[in-house]
Structure 1
């Protein structure tokens, strides 16, 4: 068998490891209510700006709430009339989002999936538009030790997607070349970050806000990360005998 080319997997969090709509819609509504200080008309306006569709109860793809980081959303909401400073609002939103990650809805058994991927000798990381603290809260909820997961949030100092900084940080931490990394995510910001960094593969998943545009942008699109091992096949190392 040829030597596998993929040695690291860098996952988006929201919509990739967790079900985006089930987890984030209630948190977005809560954050908008805080930003509007309880004013229902302003809350509705902020949610609409963010990309929340009140008729379907879902966040639309390629919207602020689907792709932007907390500070970017806070800036847009303050510009739209939220009676806060950007720093103050972003901090309040991060507290809501971090607390909500303890009850995040995973798309599969993340602990078991990560165990198998580690047994293949793969390096694993998470690159999210959420905060680094929220990654830690999510991993705790999944029953995964954060010590073996390279975590990059919008506040980690490596920029935000679709810029390639988080991928570059992952490669620096693991010693991998970008060509040895697969970027896995649910929207175009994830795919474009992987492409900008020169990742060997980009993989889209259907558990988030992305739509048909994923098929045009990503190398592959799968239903969810439970299909990842089968997709990658001999591009990744085999399971160790004691896995």
Structure 2
């Protein structure tokens, strides 16, 4: 069976901004969620978005900000505080439910995931997803596009392997696949993804430009290489 590389035997993907176009998938959903937390107050919703990392002039998210890189729980807890509320668990439940509901219709893959995953697996690579979204949401997204069966590993912030930028997700994937972390390539769109790759001692950190970060952001945080999108992945593995 042909191999892409003697060193890389598995690929661990971030989800949003990497497998799915960040702004097409999360832009309107995030605004709707902020308005929900603000109980319909548009001024308060704008304040929530601004203080958690959205540039209101450009509509872009600041790389490394809570809204771009935080877990769903971290985001909802921050929004609860910014909205002047104290019912953290209720806010998280409402935001989580909204995200699950909207992802069923809003998730926009960067490329045909089934075709890409099929090609990568044909080259002998194990595949995984590590996201700061919930594991439930990640599994639902993968199932919706019919590619969950191509993945050997799916974890979210709540799976129990820690959160980005820590290396626990990389280490867990390596254990599950019976590989050394150095045999894994991490692919992501944020500084947190690159830092996770370094913390987990992954063999390669590959940045993509379909999320919140510019090329220089990713290189400054440890990317070995930056590509336009996962459609170009095979050329750099």
**Shift in Å, 1:141:** 2.7
Structure 1: gaps of 5 or more residues? 233-243
Residues 137-156 of structure 1, C-alpha deviations (whole Å, 9 max, x = no match): 21123221346331010110
Residues 23-64 of structure 1, C-alpha deviations (whole Å, 9 max, x = no match): 111111111011111111111111111212222223222211
Distance 1:209 1:132 in 2: 21
Distance 1:42 1:61 in 2: 22
**Shift in Å, 1:84:** 4.5
Q: Is the 8 A contact 1:186 1:210 kept in 2?
A: yes
Pairing partner for 1:214 from 211, 218, 225? 218
Residues 121-143 of structure 1, C-alpha deviations (whole Å, 9 max, x = no match): 11100000001111112112322
Distance 1:162 1:58 in 2: 21
Q: Is the 8 A contact 1:7 1:122 kept in 2?
A: yes
Pairing partner for 1:168 from 168, 171, 175? 171
Distance 2:180 2:231 in 1: 25
* TM-score when normalising by structure 2: 0.93
Instruction: Give the aligned CA root-mean-square deviation in angstroms.
Output: 1.7
Pairing partner for 2:236 from 228, 231, 235? 231
User: Are 2:186 and 1:183 aligned?
Assistant: yes
* Correspondence list, 1:49-88, <5 A: 49-88=51-90
Structure 2: gaps of 5 or more residues? none
**Shift in Å, 1:78:** 1.9
Residue of structure 1 in register with 2:104 after alignment: 102
Q: Is the 8 A contact 1:127 1:166 kept in 2?
A: yes
Q: Is the 8 A contact 1:179 1:201 kept in 2?
A: yes
In structure 2, the CA distance between the partners of 1:84 and 1:30, relative to structure 1 (3 Å rule), is farther
Distance 1:208 1:73 in 2: 17
Distance 1:169 1:82 in 2: 37
Distance 1:134 1:27 in 2: 14
Q: Is the 8 A contact 1:136 1:146 kept in 2?
A: no
Distance 1:89 1:197 in 2: 32
